[in-house]
Chains A and B, each alone.
Chain A
Amino acid sequence: GPKVLQIPSHQIIDMGQMVTLNCDPVSNHLYFYWYKQILGQQMEFLVNFYNGKVMEKSKLFKDQFSVERPDGSYFTLKIQPTALEDSAVYFCASSHPGAGNTLYFGEGSRLIVV
């Protein structure tokens, strides 16, 4: 089936550093998403992105977060600076537009901030 690829799968960084999480969405999808999942907790919506713009973001999407997809390359989530509470698995997803659209998720990027 359709595949969403995420790079890196794991990253450990020092608090205060910048991190960029990369996502290669399904090729003909138009909507892109980031979700955050802290170990043992639920999936939480961060942001969705369409036509080069953020459509909607949740309260978890702090000012230190940013997303972009320059020239149809990777869809990225950048955190600058990182904080300890940013430690989580970040899932990228993509979909076609439409009310019944199905999200296809990547395998996640596990971020550990120390």
Chain B
Amino acid sequence: GDSVTQTEGLVTLTEGLPVMLNCTYQSTYSPFLFWYVQHLNEAPKLLLKSFTDNKRPEHQGFHATLHKSSSSFHLQKSSAQLSDSALYYCAWNSNNRIFFGDGTQLVVKP
């Protein structure tokens, strides 16, 4: 069935370095994909969502591009900040349900 895969459970990097969190999807059609961010003891919040017209969504310095050829929607940022430390979920929409991947914990160190 349809699914998203986040291969990294934990990503640790130093402040100022670039971030890339992987997300690949398996679907019989082109789904709507999302990135949600969940800070400790908070609710998940929408970070980005894919567009159907190949626009690249950007928010808070993060961006992601839907690549149909590789079935990917990787999350990227050019320079990590300490405040980016959080749990990041790739998610997809199917029949008005949002399903979350396993999540990637991003830890940014000074």
Binding site for B on A (CB under 8 A): 4, 31, 33, 35, 42-45, 48, 50, 55-56, 91, 93, 95, 97-108
Contacts and interface: CB of A to CB of B under 8 A. Distances in A.
A101 B101 CA distance: 17
A97 B96 contact: yes
Contacts of A101: 93, 96
Contacts of B52: 100
**Among B43, B100, B101, B102, residue most surrounded by chain A Cβ atoms (within 10 Å):** B43
Interface string B24-44: 000000001010001000111
Contact of A42 (B34, B43, B102): B102
Contacts of A102: 34, 46, 49
B32 A100 contact: yes
B62 interface: no
Q: How large is the interface on B (under 10, 10 to 19, 20 to 34, 35 or more residues)?
A: 20 to 34
Q: Which 9 A-B pairs have the closest CB atoms?
A: A105-B43, A43-B100, A100-B32, A107-B43, A42-B102, A102-B46, A42-B103, A103-B98, A105-B44
A44 B89 CA distance: 11
A105 B45 contact: yes
A45 B101 contact: no
Nearest to A110: B41
Contacts of B44: 43, 91, 103, 105
Contact of A45 (B32, B38, B45, B97): B97
B54 interface: no
B34 to A, nearest CB: 8
Contacts of B100: 35, 42-45
B97 A56 contact: yes
Contact of B42 (A42, A48, A55, A107): A107
A93 B45 CA distance: 11
A95 B96 contact: yes
